[in-house]
Chains A and B, each alone.
Chain A
Amino acid sequence: MSTHATKLKHVATGKLVDAELHDSLSLDDLLDAEALWAPAKIQIARELLNRSVPRSEWPQSLHWNWAEKAITLKPYAPGPFSAYRLFGLRAEERWQGLLLGCCVGHPTRLAPVGRDLVYVEFVETAPWNWQPSGIGQGPLFKGTGLQLVELAVRWSEDLDFRGRVGLHSLPQADSFYRGACGMSDLGPDPKYRQLRYFELDESHARTFLEEN
């Protein structure tokens, strides 16, 4: 696994703190993340319930479980030579965000159609970096998601895919992919629970890397 130094913005102080980008996480890393994230998610769920926040406003990845994903991924041995690869961002000795990408079986939908791309299966920031509505919790760090998407774009470049990336977005993240990432919104996908499909083409990938 290789790591690269980066910075994350600590929201409360506005200061930049040291962080590390990791480009080939092990399944153990996912278990480590889940061991810390699950209690934090339960705490958020408790607050949401206690304050009667409508279910429609709950964080949409609240039920995700990276330990389960580790079990599913085991036969595929995620890594640089697998169809699957795991990326992560670490600061203050804990995972601040995770991304699972796949480089097989997801052809481009934007022109030129049918080219290879990196498909983001899952990307999630640590629950303490969320800002769930109605419970007054602010994010600890900002900028994790963008740096993880950048890792997917760079993997796509390494594979000769010219930075092309695609994903289905949870509704709460639509504006992030459309705005901050500059991805094209191809609309709801009837084959994927009506989640909107977003794609980053070659030219927008170049712009994304220049701006981030």
Chain B
Amino acid sequence: MLAKRTMTLNLTAAEMEALEGLARRKDLSKTAVIRQALRLYQLVDTRVAQGEKLFFEDELQRKKSELMVLG
């Protein structure tokens, strides 16, 4: 079992609502959503740091847009 640390997270009502919405839609606990968001952020940050770009693609509409990630 991995050692875990506890922290207090201060969120606005809107942020908490967003978190709860994601947890509901993804069928995850709020903690799992935050952990998953952290992994995703790390992954994106690593790839952007290597010079890669992040795109969203809509195949039906044939649209592709770059998401600018600030370094």
Contacts and interface: CB of A to CB of B under 8 A. Distances in A.
Interface of A: 2, 75-76, 80-83, 103-105, 112, 114-116, 159-162
B35 A83 contact: no
Interface in B23-64: 25-29, 31-32, 35-36, 38-40, 42-43, 46, 49-50
Contacts of A80: 2
A160 B40 contact: no
A147 B61 CA distance: 43
B26 A116 contact: yes
Given A75-B50, A103-B36, A104-B36, A160 B29 contact: yes
Given A83-B40, A104-B40, A159 B46 contact: no
Interface of B: 1-2, 25-29, 31-32, 35-36, 38-40, 42-43, 46, 49-50
Nearest to B37: A104
Given A80-B2, A83-B43, A115 B26 contact: yes
Contact of B32 (A2, A75, A160): A160
A116 B2 contact: no
27 contacts: A75-B46, A75-B49, A76-B42, A76-B43, A76-B46, A80-B2, A81-B38, A82-B42, A82-B43, A83-B40, A83-B43, A104-B39, A104-B40, A105-B40, A105-B43, A112-B27, A114-B25, A114-B26, A115-B27, A116-B28, A116-B36, A159-B32, A159-B35, A160-B28, A160-B29, A160-B32, A162-B27
Contacts of B39: 81-83, 103-104
Contacts, number: 43
Centre residue among B38, B43, B46 by max chain A CB count within 10 A: B43
A159 B50 CA distance: 27
When A and B form their complex, which 6 residue pairs have the shortest distance between CB atoms, in order from nearest? Answer: A160-B32, A83-B43, A83-B39, A160-B28, A75-B46, A104-B40
Given A115-B27, A116-B28, A159 B43 contact: no
A73 B4 CA distance: 25
A114 to B, nearest CB: 8
Contacts of A159: 32, 35-36
A83 B42 contact: yes
